[in-house]
Structure 1
Amino acid sequence: MASDVDTAPLVGRADLVAAVRSALLDEVAQGSTAAVFLTGESGVGKTRLLREIGARLRDGGALVLTGTCLDIGDASPLHPLLQALRRFDGELTTSHARTSSAVRGLLQMFADETAGPDGAGALLERVSRGLHLIAEGRPLVLVLDDLQWVDRSTRQLLLYLLAGLGDLQLSVLAAVRAESLQGAHPLRRVLTELRRLRTVRVLDLAPLDRAGTEQLAAAVVGRPLSPEAAEQVWRRSGGNPFVVEELARDVRDGRDGLSDTLREIFLSRVDALPQHAHTVVHAVAAGVEPVEHWLLANVVRLPEDQLIEAVRAAVAHRLLVGADDGYRLRHRLVAEVLEHELLPAERAALHRRYAEALTAAPADLHQARLAHHWRLAGEPARALPAAVAAAKEAERLHGYAEAHRHWSTALQLAGATTGGPPETSRVTLLERAAEAAHHCGEHARALTLLEELAASDAGRPACGLHIQRARYLAAAGRSALAEAEYQRALDLADCTPAERATAAAHLAELLLHLGRYADAGHRAREALKLSAAVEGSTSEVVLASAALGFSEAYLEDPDAGLAVMRQALETAERAGRPEDVACAYLHLAELLTGPLNILEEGVVVARRGAERVAELGLGRTYETRLLAIATNGLFRVGQWAEAEKVVAAALRHRPSGADAVELLLARCRLSVGYGDIEAADRDLDAVATVLAGGGARHVLPLLTLRSGLAMWQGRHDLARQAVQRGLTESRSDDGAIVAALVWHGLRAEAEAHASRTVEVDQTAVRRLRGVAERVARRSAGAVRPVRSVVDGFLALCAAEVSRLDGSDPELWARSVAEWDRRNHPYPAAYSRLRQAEALLARRSRSATAAALLRQAYQVAQALGAVPLTSEIRTLAGRARVSLEERTGPAAAAAATGGADRDELAVLTAREREVLAAVAEGLTNREIGQRLFISERTIGVHVSHIFDKLQVRTRVQASAIFLRNRSS
């Protein structure tokens, strides 16, 4: 079942190829024979590996003879060797007359050979001598495929040669289809004998892991798969490369069903089973894996000895996998294929037997399976209570995605039944399903279910409905609508004290997300006052305390505010409600990495919180937002490579709504910094789509990034429009994000002035300066950490204004000092560039300008900030400044060319990873799939690597990598 797709990459086998090549050549070089036998199921890639290793062995100077065994038993003695010799003879040219004569002599010997069994030893000796002549002192490797069909004579030859009985130094590489070695197969005895030899290895070739499966599928399809398609390919294929390629072709060609090729292959494998094993595989295919032995016994109803023998046969044929917890199909495709082989009545009977067996052995963890089997047995009334129990069980374990699935199943079953207890009423099921959808990140689904609930329960109190709708809208990123819903709840006369406390607490948290810290503090105090009169209002106290602490830390007293927030986290942990714990971690990490600029601690808190909320079942929602905060913190301190890894890991959760917005904005900052324009544009468009009704917290960073991206593209008019829109549409108490937007606006005007492509908009300049002055006045009374961050952006604003009528190097020097003090390397490097530019324009202190450019260049190179690097290089070129000039130990090492010099020291951690993959011979697409970043970003990294290493080709870069790795 080998794949015919030679263009597909060899995934996940590089280490194995190298190890096998070394084993075969090194042993022979030491004067002994060696052999490697690769075993594995059909389609796992044995034949492809034989080709790849054979090619590497030829490149290493070995003589490689390749043959394939046929499924015709002993009717063709020594067939694979004869085939290999004929192939080799056909490849020889006239310049190899001596070798060709030896090959033909050996072939003629086979043609003349009439020896019977008594002459077998003599035959083997003559074959050994003939191969010795052909090898002519070179390492000889015999590569044999489909060894499970090997004839008796070839088996004897292998034993003879590998035992060292022949006058020949030989290596053997062979592939064996594991499921064919059943019972007393003669090759099993041969392999048992050969295993005793020190130089013989038998390696079982495992399927690909998940990352390898996705990489192979993406290569066949020609693009990265969507998360849903990747999940389906992995689940159905089990990592078998042949199956992966077939499924990937279906994805590429838009086919939904299972291909006839795969269907027939798996059917033939099942049909080859003994009768009882056939029954067992059908039963496991209908079950929910893993199927425990006791449960399988109750379903198939075979005597114990026959059941064990049937299971053993199914495992030996590589259709089942046995483990301590039960039996699984090796490939889920078997279940898809067999589903259509049973009559409906047969399938229903199987599911009924499963349900009856599970009912007779009650346990909480059986409820999900019980619901599944009763439903497929055609018994919705018996399936419904099991589905409800399964949903509650999942919620107790914080498995909100599973709970949502079970509540949705219960809703479907309720439509097919009548009567039942109150907990199975449609209204109750809608309410529970909506809340589970909200917790697991299915925000649109939660809103849909809520509207259906409102229509089904006309007598439901309006206040609670407004609060619930507001929570779902906020999670979906529709902040303005959420705020209006909370306000409607608070305005209702019949709103209970408990509901009023809940609405106020959630509104305080929402205002915090919108950047309106004063309003958030006001609502938080109101919520705490209301909660004091309501018993059991721990969640409201946690939310309100977190909002109040953030507000106080930003506006009044950082230490006091942080103390309140840490107390809120402790309260949440004691109470144990997952969403409260997540909110407390979220706001604490946001405050540390944002306004207070305590970046290292903030990143630690964010990552610790992400691990904690993942344990609580909130991986798709709060974990992704906490990882976005960590990404932003890492970005600010210049750890871009690490930030890239964090954001890639978070995106695998496939977040939606506000959670997706946070993450996409974080990734976009990296893309803008790297200069990956297409990726940044794509993320910004996605954020804009989600942010209908969003608040300043997200809108202002979105427009700031849009402006920065437009400037790198030279589209200063678009940059201006983005900033003006932000000033018009959004308001925020967060002076830092407003000041960042103003800086981009003034920078856009300065760039327009410098490029002379767009007229400077003096009205816009006056407005921006006015906003900057207001931010300065407002921040003058702010706490020191907050004022410090705002002052950094205001320093940039003042320096940009000076570019409109002659850039002032002193203003840029002040900006450099502000950002160096905060350990923000990127704006510091940008400020050094502009300071150098101002000094050169005044034709003064050229040595200082040159030093500033070199410092900025080193930082930009280390970050991977390609657009900034390009601008520095352009200015240095005009000023005839050498950016590579170094002093101190680095210069001495470069001058002496010392052996301990690390040529890769100039690369970032991410660039080293990319270069290592380049050295493996991977394409940009393959590297992107391995590292979970876009192909275009890989291209940016490769260009950056070439620039730093001063090379022009991938071969030159790879040579430097290999030289430094081995030194």
Structure 2
Amino acid sequence: MASDVDSAPLVGRADQLAALRAALHDDIGPGQTAAVFVTGESGVGKTRLLTEAAARLRDAGAVVLTGSCLDIGDASPLHPVLQALRRFDADLAAGQARTSSAVRGLLRTFAEESGGADSAGALLERVSAGLSLIAEGRPLVLVLDDLQWVDRTTRQLLLYLLAGLGGLQLSVLAAVRAESLQGAHPLRRVLTELRRLRSVRVLDLAPLDRADTDRLAGEIVGTPLAPEAADQVWQRSGGNPFVVEELARDLRDGHDGLSDTLREIFLSRVDVLPRQAHAAVHAVAAGVEPVEHWLLAEVLGLPEPELIGALREAVAHRLLVGADDGYRLRHRLVAEVLAHELLPAERAGLHRRYAEALTQAPAELHQARLAHHWRLAGEPGRALPAAMAAAREAQRLHGFAEAHRHWSAALQLAATPTSGRSGAPPEVDRAVLLEQAAETAHQSGEHARALSLLAELTGGEPLDPSCGLRIRRARYLAAAGRSAPAEAEYRGVLESVDCTARDRAAAAARLAELLLHLGRYADAGQRAREALELAATVDGSTTEVVLASSALGFSEAFLEDPDAGLAVVRRALETAERSGGPEDVACAYLHLAELLTGPLNILEEGVVVARRGAERVAELGLGRTYETRLLAIATNGLFRVGQWAEAEKVVAAALRHRPSGADAVELLLARCRLSVGYGDVEASDRDLEAVATMLAGGGAPRHVLPMLILRAGLAMWQGRHDVARQAVQRGLTESRSDDVVLLGALAWHGLRAEAEAHASRTVAVDPTAVRRLRDAVDRVTAKSVTAAGPVRLNADGFLALCTAELTRLDGRGDPDAWARSAAEWDKRHHPYPAAYSRLRQAEALLARRSRSSTASKLLRQAHEMALSLGAVPLTSEIRTLAGRARVELTERAQPTGRRPGRTRSTGVGRQSAGAAPATATGEPVADELVTLTAREREVLTAVAEGLTNREIGQRLFISERTIGVHVSHIFDKLQVRTRVQASAIHLRNRGE
């Protein structure tokens, strides 16, 4: 079960390799010996580790002899040593005749020696002398694989060699299959004795952890695995590298099911077990892990001593893992393999025994497991009440995803015909099951599923006369990102004379929350006040009070009094925490974090609140919904303050929840904002396309406008100014938001697109578009006058950018306008727009051929800020202008953004077909490769052709290691992190 060492990378073993080199080479001197015995289950990577370690020890100057033991015991004495010597002799070069003579002399020694007490000692002495001749004063390493099959003579030779051979510096590296060392295996006793020696180490090679498992599978497939596929590989493999490789190859090649190779391997390991151990493995495979000892005893019906013996055998053969809480399969693949080895009646009987054992032990009863076993035993009537009890228990513990699975199972069980043996199922109202399944689907983020179940509950009618169901449908629609029908539903409830005061209070409060997300803050405040008035007449309306208070506080903070509004939102959170309702707490945290990071611009506190709230709602079971939204808020706050690397970690963690609906849109927009800043064109396009698909047919301005702003920003870096214009003009048409900050950002992007088009002379300026943009700027100016102070401050920053961009449209550019813009963003501690403003200020100064020293200083400041962010397109444009102006830039700041190794296609300098690369002002790009040496240019040319370091070395007659050094220097000088970025610069400077 060894991996194919030529086809899979070595992953997750760096620490072990370092330890092996230290133990076998670095820490021993002349005349000393050392040994490392690597143990582990089949497929864990022992052979691969030995091969890599042997290569590294050989590179370090050691003489390495490598052999493998045969599974025929003492019938082939000294086979691994003889094999190692023959391999070594075959690899010797023609100029190593002396060493070859010593090897062949030692081989003759083995052939000539005969048995007998006297000859054994003589053989060991002559082997010692022969190995000394082969080593020629160098360290000698003997590498032996599959040592569990070692013959007696080789075992005696190893012990003799490790006892010391005078001046010979000897190391032994051997691999032992752990499950083979059973009973009285002679090697067990030898290893026990050797462990006591300071010069001997036994290294138990563990399976890979989750991160390394994902990495290995991704390397084989050729791309990172989707979350679902990665989870499946991890669960099925248990981190065993061989199994990971097989599963990954099946994924890569599109094979369904389990490969015959894996099936036969695991079946053969189970088949060699004694009968009772075989039954124990089958029982654990059918159980819900971990399977407690008492439960196995009931299911198997074995006396305690026999049960212990059976389990001990299964654990020793590395099929089961025992712990305090019970027994687990080491690999879940065993369960898949064994599921096909039992007859249907055998499987049903096994599950029945589990269910009966759980039923007879009420103190240990676990309803979910009971429902599972009764269902697989063919008893839906008995499984149904257990499934319902499990669902209620999961809801009580805020496990909404688990609760939804149980309610869904209950729906299926209620519709399953029962046999005469199982009896009639209990009377259950299907409407109750549908209602519970829909609500838990919504709470766990399955909004489309919730709407489907609700439609089934109402018979498919678009509007149900029940006010409660209409409110519920509106909630699900809003969560799915379908704002318009949700708003219509809420308004319908408020206008209906059949709805109670409680219904109208709930509809008003949730409508206020929806309007807040739509950016209609004045309307939200009005509905929130209405909801509070209605809630005051109804007992037990905590949820309505929390939602309405949060919306009212946000509205007041944005439009009127920031301090008073913030205080209202904080009190709403306190009220929610006292009530303990999961969604109440989540909504209050959401509004507080949005208020701090948005209109109030208290970014540091807002990020802290968002992350603290994410942890809190995760405890309440809302990880896939509200936690992801809160982490999206934290990501956006971190982006604005320039902590892009941290923002990337946060959004990556949130996406592991695989959110849907509006929650997914929030996260994708947050990630896309980072990608646009980094210049990752492909990632940005993917996220924008995903968002556009999810918003098809409608969407809230809080989602549509950011999507269009990001589309415009990306298009400008690509030189596609017409695409940027279209995105902004669409945003101006569709905007109904009161959010002057969002509208200001949209107007800036539109004016910037027109200014970029004017400077590049590739797209004509559109006077109609400019006129609409000027109107938008006037609208932002007028609205911001009456807005709260912090909101006005943020809007003023974008207005300063708009004013400065308008000066570029005249073809002049006003340095003073750009200086004011830079000062505005410095006050807000937003490094990205501040760096951009400095770039434009320097550009305007240079165009006027005045104050070149000031321009140089501004370019250096902008460059340092952009470089520290990892903003590749902005950094590139700054460098282009600096190169044209002969300004030397410093390289002190190091990018803190996206990790090296992540492909990032900048798209900077992309022009129309056949056009020469140009700057934003239409002038030719300076030679960005001027800092490279002639050799580095050769290497870069080969990199751009897609060659590996080894292939480049073969072409240029340089070692692979030296090529790696050249590539590192190229990356440093060009300030890139990937081969793709370096290739893009190479092609750009060739005019391709």
Quickly name the TM-score band, shorter chain normalised.
over 0.9
In the alignment, the residues of structure 1 paired with residue 907 and residue 258 of structure 2 have an alpha-carbon distance, to the nearest angstrom, of 34
In the alignment, the residues of structure 1 paired with residue 227 and residue 429 of structure 2 have an alpha-carbon distance, to the nearest angstrom, of 35
State the match for 2:735 in structure 1: 730
In the alignment, the residues of structure 1 paired with residue 92 and residue 68 of structure 2 have an alpha-carbon distance, to the nearest angstrom, of 20
Q: Deviations along 1:578-630, whole A, 9 cap, x unmatched?
A: 11111111110111111111011111111111111111111111111111111
State the match for 2:786 in structure 1: 781
In the alignment, the residues of structure 2 paired with residue 30 and residue 335 of structure 1 have an alpha-carbon distance, to the nearest angstrom, of 52
In the alignment, the residues of structure 1 paired with residue 877 and residue 753 of structure 2 have an alpha-carbon distance, to the nearest angstrom, of 15
In the alignment, the residues of structure 1 paired with residue 783 and residue 727 of structure 2 have an alpha-carbon distance, to the nearest angstrom, of 24
Residue 513 (str. 1) matches residue 513 (str. 2): no
Q: How does 1:576-591 map to 2 (within 5 A)?
A: 576-591=580-595
In the alignment, the residues of structure 2 paired with residue 408 and residue 694 of structure 1 have an alpha-carbon distance, to the nearest angstrom, of 30
Amino acid of the residue matched to residue 615 of structure 2?
E
Residue 908 (str. 1) matches residue 895 (str. 2): yes
State the match for 2:63 in structure 1: 63
In the alignment, the residues of structure 1 paired with residue 461 and residue 837 of structure 2 have an alpha-carbon distance, to the nearest angstrom, of 61
Report if the CA contact (8 A) 2:267-2:337 is conserved: yes
Amino acid of the residue matched to residue 183 of structure 1?
G
Q: Deviations along 1:232-272, whole A, 9 cap, x unmatched?
A: 11111111010111111111111121111111000000000
Q: How does 1:708-727 map to 2 (within 5 A)?
A: 708-727=713-732
Q: Deviations along 1:432-470, whole A, 9 cap, x unmatched?
A: 011111011111111111111111899964322221111
Q: How does 1:349-748 map to 2 (within 5 A)?
A: 349-363=349-363, 366-417=366-417, 424-455=428-459, 461-692=465-696, 693-748=698-753
State the match for 1:340 in structure 2: 340
SS in 1 for 2:84: helix
Report if the CA contact (8 A) 2:876-2:908 is conserved: no
Report if the CA contact (8 A) 1:2-1:42 is conserved: yes
Alpha-carbon offset, residue 362 of structure 1: 1.6
In the alignment, the residues of structure 2 paired with residue 435 and residue 134 of structure 1 have an alpha-carbon distance, to the nearest angstrom, of 76
Report if the CA contact (8 A) 2:680-2:904 is conserved: no
Alpha-carbon offset, residue 365 of structure 1: 5.8
State the match for 2:820 in structure 1: 814
Residue 175 (str. 1) matches residue 181 (str. 2): no
Alpha-carbon offset, residue 338 of structure 1: 0.5
In the alignment, the residues of structure 2 paired with residue 13 and residue 555 of structure 1 have an alpha-carbon distance, to the nearest angstrom, of 58
Alpha-carbon offset, residue 495 of structure 1: 1.1
In the alignment, the residues of structure 1 paired with residue 447 and residue 714 of structure 2 have an alpha-carbon distance, to the nearest angstrom, of 30
SS in 2 for 1:94: coil
Alignment match of 1:766 (pick from 740, 759, 771): 771
Alpha-carbon offset, residue 199 of structure 1: 1.1
Report if the CA contact (8 A) 2:835-2:863 is conserved: yes
State the match for 1:825 in structure 2: 831
SS in 2 for 1:285: helix
In the alignment, the residues of structure 1 paired with residue 793 and residue 535 of structure 2 have an alpha-carbon distance, to the nearest angstrom, of 35
Report if the CA contact (8 A) 1:28-1:139 is conserved: no
In the alignment, the residues of structure 1 paired with residue 908 and residue 775 of structure 2 have an alpha-carbon distance, to the nearest angstrom, of 42
Alignment match of 1:866 (pick from 850, 872, 883): 872
State the match for 1:29 in structure 2: 29
Alignment match of 1:955 (pick from 954, 965, 968): 965
Alpha-carbon offset, residue 908 of structure 1: 3.0
Report if the CA contact (8 A) 1:160-1:166 is conserved: no
Amino acid of the residue matched to residue 657 of structure 1?
G
In the alignment, the residues of structure 1 paired with residue 462 and residue 442 of structure 2 have an alpha-carbon distance, to the nearest angstrom, of 22
In the alignment, the residues of structure 2 paired with residue 46 and residue 149 of structure 1 have an alpha-carbon distance, to the nearest angstrom, of 15
Alpha-carbon offset, residue 168 of structure 1: 2.4
Distance 1:686 1:458, change over 3 A: closer
Moved more, 872-881 or 356-365: 356-365
Alpha-carbon offset, residue 483 of structure 1: 1.2
Q: Deviations along 1:351-378, whole A, 9 cap, x unmatched?
A: 0000000001124861000000000001
Report if the CA contact (8 A) 1:427-1:456 is conserved: no
Alpha-carbon offset, residue 345 of structure 1: 0.7
Q: Deviations along 1:272-322, whole A, 9 cap, x unmatched?
A: 001110010000000000000000000000010000000000000000000
TM-score with structure 2 length normalisation?
0.90
SS in 1 for 2:366: helix
Unaligned runs of 5+ in 2: 419-423, 910-927, 941-962, 973-992
Alpha-carbon offset, residue 166 of structure 1: 5.7
Alpha-carbon offset, residue 562 of structure 1: 0.8
Alpha-carbon offset, residue 173 of structure 1: 0.6
Amino acid of the residue matched to residue 822 of structure 2?
V
SS in 1 for 2:458: helix
Report if the CA contact (8 A) 2:292-2:325 is conserved: yes
Q: Deviations along 1:830-888, whole A, 9 cap, x unmatched?
A: 00011111111111111111111111011111111111111111111221211239xxx
Amino acid of the residue matched to residue 906 of structure 1?
A
Moved more, 156-165 or 817-826: 156-165
> Hey, which of these two has a bigger chunk of helix by percent?
1
In the alignment, the residues of structure 2 paired with residue 297 and residue 910 of structure 1 have an alpha-carbon distance, to the nearest angstrom, of 56
SS in 2 for 1:208: coil
Alpha-carbon offset, residue 29 of structure 1: 2.8
Amino acid of the residue matched to residue 814 of structure 1?
R
Report if the CA contact (8 A) 2:31-2:167 is conserved: no
In the alignment, the residues of structure 2 paired with residue 846 and residue 458 of structure 1 have an alpha-carbon distance, to the nearest angstrom, of 68
In the alignment, the residues of structure 2 paired with residue 709 and residue 456 of structure 1 have an alpha-carbon distance, to the nearest angstrom, of 43
State the match for 1:189 in structure 2: 189
In the alignment, the residues of structure 2 paired with residue 769 and residue 458 of structure 1 have an alpha-carbon distance, to the nearest angstrom, of 43
SS in 1 for 2:143: strand
In the alignment, the residues of structure 1 paired with residue 929 and residue 615 of structure 2 have an alpha-carbon distance, to the nearest angstrom, of 38
Q: Percent identity?
A: 78
Report if the CA contact (8 A) 1:454-1:460 is conserved: yes
Amino acid of the residue matched to residue 414 of structure 2?
A
Cα RMSD of the aligned pairs, angstroms, is 2.2
Amino acid of the residue matched to residue 832 of structure 2?
Y
SS in 2 for 1:29: coil
Moved more, 492-501 or 343-352: 492-501
State the match for 1:793 in structure 2: 798
Report if the CA contact (8 A) 1:549-1:563 is conserved: yes
Moved more, 447-456 or 601-610: 447-456
Alignment match of 2:882 (pick from 876, 879, 884): 876
SS in 2 for 1:385: helix
Alignment match of 1:841 (pick from 847, 860, 866): 847
Residue 754 (str. 1) matches residue 759 (str. 2): yes
Alpha-carbon offset, residue 165 of structure 1: 5.3
Amino acid of the residue matched to residue 843 of structure 1?
R
Q: Deviations along 1:37-62, whole A, 9 cap, x unmatched?
A: 11000000000001110111011011
Distance 1:936 1:798, change over 3 A: closer
Q: Deviations along 1:472-496, whole A, 9 cap, x unmatched?
A: 1111111122112211222222111
Question: Which stretches of structure 1, 4 residues or longer, exceed 6 Å deviation after superposition?
Answer: 456-460, 937-940, 945-953, 959-962
SS in 1 for 2:634: helix
Q: What is the number of equivalent residue pairs in this alignment?
A: 920
Q: Deviations along 1:915-936, whole A, 9 cap, x unmatched?
A: xxxxxxxxx4xxx4xxxxx575
In the alignment, the residues of structure 2 paired with residue 795 and residue 457 of structure 1 have an alpha-carbon distance, to the nearest angstrom, of 52
In the alignment, the residues of structure 1 paired with residue 117 and residue 325 of structure 2 have an alpha-carbon distance, to the nearest angstrom, of 51
